[in-house]
A and B are shown apart, each in its own frame.
Chain A
Amino acid sequence: MSPKTLYDKIWDAHVAHEAEDGTCLLYIDRHLVHEVTSPQAFEGLRMTNRTVRAPDKTIAVPDHNVPTTLDRANAATMTEDSRIQVDALDKNAKDFGIHYYPVSDVRQGIVHIVGPEQGWTLPGMTVVCGDSHTATHGAFGALAHGIGTSEVEHVLATQTLIQRKGKNMKVEITGKLRPGVTAKDITLSVIGATGTAGGTGYVIEYCGEAIRDLSMEGRMTVCNMAIEGGARAGLIAPDEKTFEYCKGRPHAPKGAQWEAALAWWKTLYSDDDAHWDKVITLKGEDIAPVVTWGTSPEDVLPITANVPAASDFTGGKVDAAQRSLDYMGLTPGTPLSEVEIDTVFIGSCTNGRIEDLRAAAAILKGKKVKDGLRAMIVPGSGLVRAQAEEEGLADIFKEAGFEWRLAGCSMCLAMNPDQLSPGERCAATSNRNFEGRQGRGGRTHLMSPAMAAAAAITGKLTDVREMM
């Protein structure tokens, strides 16, 4: 048999039909659904008298719109159009008989955090969701990617997706990370190296010692941002850490089924001599704690660097960089560590898991948020929140002056009331720094949870290593 990559293996196990021209029907094992990109798809089913083909493989949770303030049980905290979307999901989940975690359920949270947490996401699966950060689930060695609403409808109706196979790209991070450097710094540095279109047309497999050393939470952070590098999906081969994480989760297999699953999962790795269309290698020890300075996730620099000038770039990036600098209100040459912020947001499907909160708490313990700064922590799920309370992290956050919120997407995309005002500058652990992403005119700097915590204390972008 010819050598295969991990992507090849999962792909081959899921082709339900292949046309002569190579167009395939890829069978989908898990379909995750949220309130923003699904109403039109369910409406489409109703109009054509179609049903959901595999409701037992379809899981829905509202996350994008929901308020994260403690009073959210009061319906008045939601705007009317948000409420209509959440109500539509309630109704669609009920009418079509799919698994559902309503806002009132402690298991509710960001769809990409809930899936793994509940054991819906398992190695070797195909996972899709009407959301580009579905790549997150690739951390388990699952082929996972975002789809549009028409495709959501297609998967609901047929449990398949029309696909052509992508190319294979290997991103290897060798050696060890230095202290203060995290999964977020890896994933941002990779995008800094490849650009936001570097992965277009590829499925990335992340490998190497620095990736192996990461926890499952860290691996999810890395894969989450594969899409920011243009790749629809990012993968990490499953190993003992993966199996350990999955074991005992509510929807993970048990008993003999677990053993059977494990036997297959252990075959899920890229063969030594597999073919790669593109290979990128970064040295773990070269990666520094980074922040973004511009309005594209590729605008990444070590925190020790200065704000660049447009003239440092070439081609279309010259104009783009100038536009970013104007939008971000930054002067070339300014040390990044002197840039003052107004807001800190810790959360999102990139960094809203328990390990992220532990990393932030380690920095914040016994410290105070800088006077006048708005700081909030939004756990990725109700269960993450409960665990953080049990571990005493919540007390550390509250004593430091952070708002301690309920689970949701919140200020990652500001569809709920958590928004930046024009000109406000935010240290954020989310994944997109696009213009207006966190509110019209808002300015976003992406970084790790530890870096965001450090920024909360000083009120400036800060090198976390100085606080360790």
Chain B
Amino acid sequence: MEKFEKLSGIAAPMPMINIDTDMIIPKQFLKTIKRSGLGVNLFDEMRYDDDGKEIPDFVLNKPQYREAQILIAGDNFGCGSSREHAPWAIKDFGIRCVIAPSFADIFYNNCFKNGILPIALPQEQVDALMKEAEKGANARVEIDLEAQTVSTSDGEIFAFEVDAFKKHCLLEGLDDIGLTMEKAASIDTFEAKAAQARPWV
């Protein structure tokens, strides 16, 4: 997995609550057997009209946000399905960090498996960042995962929380499966015990 240490980039504002996984990547793009190439269809139904032409008003179609690496959004971002196609599409577009007041559990988890950092901040701080993001390409937002801070170009700094294990994996770009396999002995022991206790499983 790609490491995430620091990021300085353009932030795109999406002041909507309940942005669901069907909006992030509609189902017609789930019919792939690959992880890559989904970026062009990120937010497809908001981004393109019925003829497949770009809708100029949509934030990621505006010239100043085409290179956005950070997304600022409303409450409950990523609610809905477990489709990892959502973080795949976000990453493939070039976004490495999403900031919102809250996230849906499964989406939040999926981000970390794909080198994306989801940051939950209190509403007022998200509001401040949303204003900042509305300034466009002139306002770069900086994320420092090690220090757990988000900084604006005016020098405002917000601290955020992140699970220590998830942080470690993201900083080092570690593969979960490899880590778990190092604990194979514990799994073997558990499996043998469980087979005794619950042989019907």
Whether A36 touches B200, Cβ cut-off 8 Å, given contacts A25-B187, A230-B76, is no
Chain A residues with Cβ below 8 Å from B15 are 316, 319
Question: Is the C-beta of B147 less than 8 angstroms from some C-beta in chain A?
Answer: no
Contacts of A149 in B (CB 8 A): 35, 84
Cβ–Cβ < 8 Å partners of B183 in chain A: 16-17, 25
* A10-39 CB contacts (< 8 Å) to partner B: 13-17, 19, 21, 23, 25, 27, 29, 36-37, 39
A158 near B177 with CB under 8 A, answer yes
Complex interface: chain B residues within 8 A of A150 (CB): 84, 110, 113-114, 176
The answer to whether B200 and A151 have CB atoms under 8 Å apart is no
Q: Does A63 contact B (CB under 8 A)?
A: no
Judge if B102 is at the interface, Cβ distance under 8 Å.
Answer: yes
Query: Contact between A17 and B187 (Cβ–Cβ < 8 Å)?
Result: yes
* Closest Cβ neighbor of A146 among chain B residues: B82
Closest to B114 in A: A150
Given the known A-B contacts A37-B82, A432-B22, are A415 and B30 also in contact in the complex, defined by CB atoms under 8 Å? yes
Q: Residues 315-331 of chain A: 1 if any B CB is under 8 Å from the residue's CB, otherwise 0?
A: 01101100100000000
* A305 on the B face (CB < 8 A): no
A27 to B110, CA, bound (A): 19
Within 8 A of A (CB), among B151-201: 163-165, 176-177, 180-181, 183-184, 186-187, 189-191, 194, 197-201
A436 touches B45 (CB 8 A): yes
Closest to B168 in A: A21
Question: Closest Cβ of chain A: how far from B88's Cβ, in Å?
Answer: 8
B50 at the interface (CB under 8 A from A): yes
Contact status B191-A27, CB under 8 Å: yes
Assign chain B's interface to a size class.
Answer: 35 or more
Count CB-based A-B contacts (< 8 Å).
Answer: 189
Q: Is the CB of A196 within 8 A of B18?
A: yes
Please measure, in the bound complex, the distance between the C-alpha atom of A207 and the C-alpha atom of B174, giving whole angstroms: 41
Instruction: Give the chain A neighbours of B189 by CB distance below 8 A.
Output: 16
Residues of A with C-beta under 8 A to B81:
131-132, 146, 432
Contact status of A436 and B22, CB under 8 A, knowing A157-B181, A413-B27: yes
Interface residues in A378-436 by Cβ distance below 8 A to B read 413-415, 422, 432, 434-436
- B33–A29 contact, CB under 8 A? no
Which chain A residue lies CB-closest to B110?
A: A148
How far does the Cβ of B196 sit from chain A's closest Cβ, in whole Å? 11
Query: What's the minimum C-beta distance from B59 to chain A, rounded to whole angstroms?
Result: 14
Residue of B nearest to A323 (CB): B16
- Report whether A85 and B84 are in contact in the complex, using a CB–CB cutoff of 8 Å: no
Distance in angstroms from A271 CB to nearest chain B CB is 20
Q: Which of B103, B163, B200 contacts A261 (CB 8 A)?
A: B200
**A465 on the interface (CB 8 Å rule)?**
no
Contact A257 B190 (CB under 8 A): no
- Beta-carbon contact of B75 and A197 below 8 Å: yes
Is B92 close to A, CB under 8 A?
Answer: no
Closest to A164 in B: B163
Contact residues, B20-54 vs A (CB, 8 A): 20, 22-23, 26-28, 30-35, 45, 50
16 pairs of residues in contact across A and B, judged by CB atoms under 8 Å: A17-B187, A19-B165, A25-B187, A27-B187, A27-B190, A43-B34, A57-B201, A79-B31, A130-B82, A148-B82, A148-B109, A157-B180, A232-B105, A296-B18, A319-B16, A437-B27
Interface residues of A (CB under 8 A from B): 13-17, 19, 21, 23, 25, 27, 29, 36-37, 39-40, 43, 48, 50, 57, 64-65, 79, 81-82, 84-85, 88, 122, 124-125, 130-132, 145-151, 153-154, 157-160, 162, 164, 196-197, 200-201, 227, 230, 232, 252-253, 257-258, 260-261, 264, 296, 316-317, 319-320, 323, 413-415, 422, 432, 434-437, 440
- Beyond the given A84-B31, A150-B84, A316-B17, please list 9 additional residue pairs across the A-B interface where CB-CB is below 8 A: A23-B165, A40-B35, A130-B84, A200-B76, A260-B200, A296-B18, A316-B15, A435-B23, A440-B26
Nearest 8 pairs between A and B by C-beta?
A253-B200, A150-B113, A16-B190, A39-B33, A148-B110, A148-B84, A146-B82, A316-B17
